[in-house]
Structure 1
Amino acid sequence: MVATFRRHTLAGQMLVLQLAIVVVVLLAVAAVSLAQSETTFNRVEGRRVSALAEQLAAQPLVRSRLVGPAPMEALAPLVHSTRVQSDVTSVTVADRDGRVVSSTNPTVVGERLPLGPGVGRGRGWSGSLDWDGSRELVAQVPVLGATGSNLGRNLGTVMIGEASPTVWKRLSGASSYLLIYLGIASALGVVGSWLLARRVKRQTLGLEPREITGLAEHREAMLYGIVEGVVALDPQHRVTLINDMGRRLLDLPEDCVGRDLAQLGVEGRLLDVLTGAQEEAPDRPDEVVVRHGRVLVMNRMTVVKDGRPLGSVTTLRDRTELARLEREIGSFRSTSELLRAQAHEFANQLHTISGLIQIGEQEEVVRYIRALNQRRQSLDMTIGRRVRDTAVAALLMAKASQAAERKVTLRVSDRTALDRLVPEDAADVATVLGNLVDNAIDAATTGHSAVAEPWVQVELRQDAASVEIVVRDSGPGVAPELAQEVFAHGFTTKAAQQGERGIGLALTRLVCERRGGEIAVTNTAEGAQFTARMSVRHSAGAVTEGST
């Protein structure tokens, strides 16, 4: 048969500990009471027995009988009467040699009396003495001769003793209400311990210590074992919990716990998301925030217990690398779309040529082909002459075909001038230009535009160390309330109008800031204008021509 042992609950342990404390306190009170009682007894009774012993030693009968014959028979009545009248435990008389000659206890007659310090030299003494099998508080006084040849001589010793009270007598004599006080204190201690145990049980939600320890260990494992950041705030927007990943992503100090967001320098879009100032859509709770060069995806959940708000918990995911991969995939997708657009355009042109041949309009076919060739050469010459970097020029020509498929005219400003750049800088310029042109085409093709022939204009301006990209469109522009927040929110132009979320402009801003630049949007009379600036390096052997 296997015996099972049930562990004590937290409330039970608290009750046992509190009762143990109460018992210790009661024992301490009892010890103090005993000490006080003993001190009082020694002081009061010591004086009394000393006075009685001095009175008995001064009796002429005691002096005369100690030097006379048969002192026991002569002193016995006096010894017994003194004991009865004084209500003491013992009365003893000894001769000059310390032999007991008379005592209230006849069994000690003839034995040697243990004398205190100095008694044999004529001085009195009082104190505790083990005598006749018990411990007594005694007073020993020498009997001195008063007449004749015995004047001043030590004739013997008188000892009067009072038995020390038992512990129970001392407790009962300490105070007539001591036991009542101890009983009331015990009852209050038991009731208080029980109430404290119940309160602790409620505050710990019924969890036992081993369960609380397990929860704490699991929490530590979850918080510091995941790759996502976790930030918990109380209703006053103070940081109550944050793991290492969350602190690193938000660039917060190590002592951020317990401080509010304002003290930590959190503001703008990040503050709105963490505090829930801008409610998320129920079907799309994730929010994109750019923080110190990182693209963060944040998800905030409000914590409510029994209808009482306890704060919020926000998870953070670093999407910077993913955004870079999305940008690269997007470039491939854009290339495929451009190829599809060009294939569609070529197919339409071939269909036109085929139709002209079928109806016998050979001369019209020649004129049509010449017109297409001239238009293509004109576009290639315009872009190639102004944009000497092949990657950026190729991007512009591809975007022109994509815009043409969507019935949008892509124009390159006469003031455009760009020299050849190093490959890394050319890639970043192409990224920013491609995102801005895509957004501009989306804005120009919206149904809100009243322009009969939508258009997008690109202008590239370059100086010794930077490039400025200006993209204008004929769309409805950016709403004034979004003009300052569109990049922080990560909206694209299309998303800004439809209320969707994206990271196109957030990536554009990230690239510009990484290169020490900036990006801004303004509304013109014709539509929106995006202006981006970034520092670049020129390729070796580049020729600057027409720079402004």
Structure 2
Amino acid sequence: MTRVTDKYAKDVLVVMNMTARAWSPTRILRSLAGQFLVFQVLVVAVVLVAVGAVSVAQSTREFREVRGQRMIAVAENMASTPVVRDRYADPFASRVLAPEVDRAVALSGAGLAEILDPDGTVRASSEPSRVGTRVDLGPSRADEGRAWFGDTDIDGVHNLIGQVPILDTDGRVLALASVSEPYPSAWALLGGAGERMLFYLGLGAALGLLASWLLSRRIKRHTRGLEVAEIAGLADHREALLHSIREGVVAVNPEGVVTVLNDSAQELLGITGDAVGQRVDSVGIDPAVVEFLLSGEDGRDVVIVTRTRVLALNRRAATSQGQQIGTVTTMRDSTELAALQGQLSSHKSVTDTLRAQTHEFANQLHTISGLVQLGEYESVRDLIGTLTRRRAEINDAVTQAISDPAVAALLIAKTTLAAESGVVLTIDPRSHLSTLDPALATDVITLLGNLVDNAVDVSVGADPARVTVRVDDRDGLQITVVDSGPGVPEHLREAIFARGVTSKPEVPGGRGIGLALVRLVTAQHGGTVAVSDDTDGGARFEVRLPVGFVSERAGHA
């Protein structure tokens, strides 16, 4: 039987893919590890940019709050200067107040200090070129008598500006003191966050790049150097291989979960692909097969009979890098082979019967020859009469109840063969069987032959050694075989119909494929088979075929 394992399939496909791969200069750039490294670098870069953006935003907010209040303070200080209050309207205010606005710039670090009319005209400025120009006050509230700071653009540069009104004794706005400072650049803001911030960002970038490189190496090692396209191709080839082979393949991990199930296995076990990922004992597989899949047996061909099939299974451990990852079981349908084996067993039984009868007839002929040589003709006549009556009794006992010649011949032969083993085989007088169609008679012979052989085997040496057979077709078909053996323990009454080994019997009592064939043939006709304890000791095997069996038989008769 062909044995296919996941490891074997994987090794073959890896060799195929490695042979087909060709090196190219851009291979590293297209490699999974390389792509992952680039991706991780991009992630690190995005994180750094995000951190930088948050830092810039936070620094900008702090700058606005802190420096805004500073601009207002400087503007108030400039507005409260007596010379400013007295000379703001002087025609030469630009020259007179120049020292004051320059002092405000020097003391505050601002970029620009100015004295404005309420309408926004510049009266004095630390930038002389702006004197006389008009400034758009925008959202400023200083012309309404309130201090204000906010954002504005001066000569195209974004500035933070603080404005304070210069009021007379009546509270009327006489002029505005304005102090502004350009917003710092993003780099300056990052630098303002402190050298520690820059150090941590640099350290994070370095660690991120190092971790990305190590992780890409690890991925490359775990993927055996295969790239994404190669892994996909490997998976496709694996699926094609597993689902195209004739043998069924079932892989089960150490937790008892189905990991691989090809099409042939689904058909043989009568389940669907949904079983993958579920425990093997929860998907509707025959209990005997479940027990085998979860057992520790390896390397032997085991025959298991389900309700409809005879399966030959072989189970081996699957390993990866020295660790066991589960088991792989291969199976194939041996139903037809088992049927042929059953027919062969029937022919062998006939051959054994003929051999036993030949041996018996030879002994009888030798006895008759001896009596003739001794001149004991009366004894010869009595012996022949006794043998004839005994043979007639056996034939009559069978043929009176069994009308089908093939089944009757089998029972007559089994009676002689059992007698040779010291076992008395009797036909229950309540038996009744009409003539069967030849095909159906073959199935009945298979059932009776295997049940009788099993009963004779276990009855040898018993006291008394007897086997009783009853066949009744008046309500469906019922076959009952009672032996005088030790009986069948209750916990084995299901196993003896399900399991056998190709090399030698493994089920207690020597029951192997014969009883498994009994259940298979019975199931094919929609019947049942059961074993129980007989009231007189021993085991009682009972086969029941439905009424349709008899109707089918009658249709062919």
Task: Give the TM interval when normalised to the shorter protein.
Answer: 0.7 to 0.9
Residue matched to 1:10? 32
Q: Give the secondary structure class of the aligned counterpart of 1:490.
A: strand
Alpha-carbon distance, 1:330 to partner: 5.5
Q: Report the TM-score when normalising by structure 2.
A: 0.75
Q: Pairwise CA RMSD of aligned residues?
A: 4.7
Residue matched to 2:149? 126
AA partner of residue 513 (structure 2):
I
Residue matched to 2:102? 80
Q: Deviations over 1:381-400 (max 9, x none)?
A: 44322312333123334656
Following the alignment from structure 1 to structure 2, what is the Cα–Cα distance between the partners of residues 200 and 41?
46
Alignment of 1:510 onto 2:516: no
Residue matched to 1:520? 531
Following the alignment from structure 2 to structure 1, what is the Cα–Cα distance between the partners of residues 487 and 141?
116
Alpha-carbon distance, 1:209 to partner: 2.3
Residue matched to 2:308? 293
Counterpart mapping for 1:153-302 below 5 A: 153-243=172-262, 245-247=264-266, 249-250=268-269, 256-261=275-280, 269-277=288-296, 279=297, 285-302=300-317
Residues 34 and 216 in structure 2, CA contact (< 8 A), matched pair in contact too: yes
Residues 93 and 102 in structure 1, CA contact (< 8 A), matched pair in contact too: yes
Following the alignment from structure 2 to structure 1, what is the Cα–Cα distance between the partners of residues 508 and 78?
119
AA partner of residue 232 (structure 1):
A
Following the alignment from structure 1 to structure 2, what is the Cα–Cα distance between the partners of residues 494 and 507?
16
Residue matched to 2:20? none
AA partner of residue 6 (structure 1):
R
Following the alignment from structure 1 to structure 2, what is the Cα–Cα distance between the partners of residues 532 and 492?
26
Alpha-carbon distance, 1:37 to partner: 0.9
Residue matched to 2:15? none
Following the alignment from structure 1 to structure 2, what is the Cα–Cα distance between the partners of residues 126 and 15?
48
Distance 1:375 1:540, change over 3 A: farther
Counterpart mapping for 1:372-383 below 5 A: 379-383=394-398
Residues 491 and 505 in structure 1, CA contact (< 8 A), matched pair in contact too: no
Q: Give the secondary structure class of the aligned counterpart of 2:176.
A: strand
Q: Give the secondary structure class of the aligned counterpart of 1:115.
A: coil
Distance 1:257 1:183, change over 3 A: same
Alpha-carbon distance, 1:314 to partner: 1.5
Alignment of 1:26 onto 2:40: no
Following the alignment from structure 1 to structure 2, what is the Cα–Cα distance between the partners of residues 135 and 483?
93
Distance 1:188 1:332, change over 3 A: same
Following the alignment from structure 1 to structure 2, what is the Cα–Cα distance between the partners of residues 492 and 75?
117
Counterpart mapping for 1:43-442 below 5 A: 43-95=65-117, 98-117=120-139, 121-123=143-145, 124-146=147-169, 153-243=172-262, 245-247=264-266, 249-250=268-269, 256-261=275-280, 269-277=288-296, 279=297, 285-328=300-343, 337=351, 379-397=394-412, 411-413=425-427, 415=429, 417-420=431-434, 422-423=436-437, 426-438=441-453
AA partner of residue 134 (structure 1):
V
Alpha-carbon distance, 1:35 to partner: 0.6
Q: Deviations over 1:420-463 (max 9, x none)?
A: 1553654432221122345567789xxx9799xx9985622437
Q: Give the secondary structure class of the aligned counterpart of 2:432.
A: coil
Following the alignment from structure 1 to structure 2, what is the Cα–Cα distance between the partners of residues 497 and 58?
113
Q: Unmatched 5+ residue regions in structure 2?
A: 1-22
AA partner of residue 5 (structure 1):
T
Q: Give the secondary structure class of the aligned counterpart of 2:116.
A: strand
Following the alignment from structure 1 to structure 2, what is the Cα–Cα distance between the partners of residues 262 and 187?
52
Alpha-carbon distance, 1:162 to partner: 1.3
Return the match for 1:459 from 465, 469, 494.
469
Q: Deviations over 1:334-376 (max 9, x none)?
A: 67x4898699799989x99xx99xx9x9x99x98999998776
Residue matched to 1:546? none
Q: Give the secondary structure class of the aligned counterpart of 1:168.
A: helix
Counting matched residue pairs gives: 519
Distance 1:195 1:3, change over 3 A: closer
Residues 56 and 62 in structure 1, CA contact (< 8 A), matched pair in contact too: yes
Following the alignment from structure 1 to structure 2, what is the Cα–Cα distance between the partners of residues 163 and 497?
96
Following the alignment from structure 1 to structure 2, what is the Cα–Cα distance between the partners of residues 403 and 258?
52
Alpha-carbon distance, 1:12 to partner: 2.2
Residues 249 and 318 in structure 1, CA contact (< 8 A), matched pair in contact too: yes
Distance 1:422 1:492, change over 3 A: farther
Residues 491 and 500 in structure 1, CA contact (< 8 A), matched pair in contact too: no
Q: Give the secondary structure class of the aligned counterpart of 1:199.
A: helix
Following the alignment from structure 1 to structure 2, what is the Cα–Cα distance between the partners of residues 539 and 46?
106
Distance 1:43 1:425, change over 3 A: same
AA partner of residue 167 (structure 1):
A
Alpha-carbon distance, 1:21 to partner: 1.1
Following the alignment from structure 2 to structure 1, what is the Cα–Cα distance between the partners of residues 118 and 478?
127
Q: Report the TM-score when normalising by structure 1.
A: 0.76
Following the alignment from structure 2 to structure 1, what is the Cα–Cα distance between the partners of residues 100 and 65?
26
| Identity within the alignment, % | 39
Residues 83 and 89 in structure 1, CA contact (< 8 A), matched pair in contact too: yes
Distance 1:74 1:247, change over 3 A: same
Residues 338 and 401 in structure 1, CA contact (< 8 A), matched pair in contact too: no
Residues 149 and 161 in structure 2, CA contact (< 8 A), matched pair in contact too: yes
Distance 1:295 1:156, change over 3 A: same
Return the match for 1:534 from 532, 537, 544.
544
Following the alignment from structure 2 to structure 1, what is the Cα–Cα distance between the partners of residues 97 and 546?
129
Residues 443 and 493 in structure 1, CA contact (< 8 A), matched pair in contact too: no
Following the alignment from structure 1 to structure 2, what is the Cα–Cα distance between the partners of residues 24 and 496?
67
Q: Give the secondary structure class of the aligned counterpart of 1:139.
A: strand
Q: Give the secondary structure class of the aligned counterpart of 1:177.
A: helix
Q: Deviations over 1:102-148 (max 9, x none)?
A: 221122223223323355843444222222453321223343444xx
Following the alignment from structure 2 to structure 1, what is the Cα–Cα distance between the partners of residues 462 and 502?
21
Q: Give the secondary structure class of the aligned counterpart of 1:386.
A: coil
Q: Deviations over 1:17-38 (max 9, x none)?
A: 2221111111111101111111
Moved more, 37-46 or 88-97: 88-97
Following the alignment from structure 1 to structure 2, what is the Cα–Cα distance between the partners of residues 540 and 436?
23
